[in-house]
Structure 1
Amino acid sequence: MIIQTAPTGKPHLVILQTDHALMSGAFAAAFGNEEFAALNPVEPMIYVAGHHDEGWAPIDARVEQDHKTGLPYHLTGTPLPYLVQTSAGSPAFNEIHHPYSGIMSSMHTYGLFHGRYGLSDKVFIELIPDAHKTAVANMLQAEIDRQTRLKTQMFANPTMAPLATERVLFHNYKLLQFFDTLALYFHMVHEAARGNSYFENVPRAVGDDVTINIRRVEQGIYTLTPYPFRETGMSFGYIGHPLTPQPIGTNLQVLMAKTEPVAETIILLAG
């Protein structure tokens, strides 16, 4: 889950990872214009963007309480045994849909532990406690094996083979990271506290990456420069469940089930 920041005294929005991914998928479906090349392959990329956190579904459904906050576990505070489960579950789910969705999801998992393949300076694998290193290493090796197997399948398919080269795979991986981190920009921080930011290594074409800057104009309206989507003024949204910190031992699963979700809609303009 993602526990969004909140103004003092106000409830936090609790966002399911699967709902976070749905916004990523909406960004993928809208991507491309005269400056930014369209996705290729289109459908498997839109699918994996919209389902890249599917392995979180059984963990999020537990709504376990973090005793440090009184809220559900935040994404970065989730116990490592659960992270191992979610990290393997998402690629397994996506592979069923399409080999390309599976390999992108697997690369996403591996990248989260290895600084997004050099795109980030946050190398999570270096922070893993000794007690969990073997389980994490085994999970990551299984993902390397999955990628090798899926690449072999795609190279045997004349239509998919050109899309399975390391250059094209990394191009599409970077696009998936953009859709993910753009959604995280909105999901991690509440509206009034969002500042200007940027997204590096966003591909305009294979081998041609740019930095996209985001600026908050007013409530619910943001500009992107350069603008990567089909048309300016597009609306995107997500839902979350408002929740305040609860006494230790509260059944958050029951409480969340009784809480009506709220939606935020944002409009993106060309800067």
Structure 2
Amino acid sequence: MIVRRRGNRFILIKQHDHALISGEFAARLNQKIEPRAKTLYAISHHDVGWIELDQTILWNEQTNEPYSFNDYPLLPKLEAYTQGISRVEAHDPYAGFLCSKHFASFFTNVSDPAARRFHEQELARQDQLKKHFSEAEEQNSADNFRLLQFCDDLSLSLCLNEPQQNTHPWYADGIDYHGRKVKWVWEDEQSLRLVPNLFSTSFTFEIPYQVADSSRRLVSRNVFRCRVLA
């Protein structure tokens, strides 16, 4: 889950829902993507490993808050990453490669043995998958990996902030992309734009979310709709 506190309640967004939004952003960026379908599939489905974990809310007994993707217990998270990458790879090996690169990048300098094993496992997976790349896949893999990371950050920056705010420390100064800072600027409670603008047309997206209270009750479900202005 992506978790943010709102008073004595918690806004919960499922990881796969966030990933689908990142795919929408990628599909609408004003840039050429090659191979397009495979790359967009990777971006939209990079968090499929979280689908089963996000069926239930796991509570941190020490803080009495829901675990987020950031502090979720490591071993089940690594297992979910592995299974998710494999699911994407089964659909398309190139998409699986991009997802493997994405998750392996979280564990480049770690001391935990399980995290190190995961990192080594994914590097080995990538080496095998690269052997079957087409010329276009090889030439564009680095750019498409950066695109996945950028669109992931675009979506996360919205999910981690309240509407009309941009205070989360990860993204308050913008998101790096091709040597420049990209920022969301809110026009009102339900519309915003990128600065500099990277979209060719305006569009609307939706973020499904749940609300839980500190008594661990699921209070409501809703959808936040937002317009991106080009």
The 5 A counterparts of 1:147-158 are 147-154=126-133
> Normalized against structure 2, the TM-score is what?
0.90
* Amino acid in the other structure paired with 1:5: R
CA contact (8 A) 2:24 2:44 kept: yes
Question: Is the partner of 1:145 in helix, strand or coil?
Answer: helix
Corresponding residue to 1:77 among 71, 78, 82: 71
Q: List 4+ stretches of structure 1 deviating above 3 A.
A: none
The 5 A counterparts of 1:106-255 are 106-114=100-108, 125-126=109-110, 128=111, 133-154=112-133, 160-165=134-139, 168-195=140-167, 197-202=173-178, 209-231=179-201, 233-246=202-215, 255=217
The CA distance in 1 between the partners of 2:62 and 2:162, in whole Å, is 21
The 5 A counterparts of 1:16-55 are 16-32=14-30, 37-55=31-49
**Superposition deviation, residue 260 in structure 1:** 4.3
* Amino acid in the other structure paired with 1:200: D
The CA distance in 2 between the partners of 1:68 and 1:178, in whole Å, is 33
Return 5+ residue gaps in structure 1 as ranges.
Answer: 115-124, 155-159, 203-208
**Superposition deviation, residue 181 in structure 1:** 0.4
The 5 A counterparts of 1:76-115 are 76-114=70-108
How far does the alpha carbon of each residue in 1:171-210 deviate from its partner, in whole angstroms, 9 at most, with x for none? 11111011100000111122143356411124xxxxxx53
In terms of Rg, which structure is larger? 1
Which is helix-richer, 1 or 2?
Answer: 1
* Amino acid in the other structure paired with 2:125: R
CA contact (8 A) 1:197 1:215 kept: no
**Superposition deviation, residue 262 in structure 1:** 0.8
> Is residue 222 of structure 2 the alignment partner of residue 262 of structure 1?
yes
Two-structure CA RMSD over aligned residues (Å): 1.9
> Normalized against structure 1, the TM-score is what?
0.77
The CA distance in 2 between the partners of 1:39 and 1:244, in whole Å, is 42
The CA distance in 1 between the partners of 2:203 and 2:146, in whole Å, is 22
CA contact (8 A) 1:197 1:214 kept: no
The CA distance in 2 between the partners of 1:55 and 1:29, in whole Å, is 22
Return 5+ residue gaps in structure 2 as ranges.
Answer: none
Corresponding residue for 1:157? Answer: none
**Superposition deviation, residue 147 in structure 1:** 0.5
> For this pair of structures, how many residues does the alignment match?
226
The CA distance in 2 between the partners of 1:194 and 1:220, in whole Å, is 14
Question: Is the partner of 2:130 in helix, strand or coil?
Answer: helix
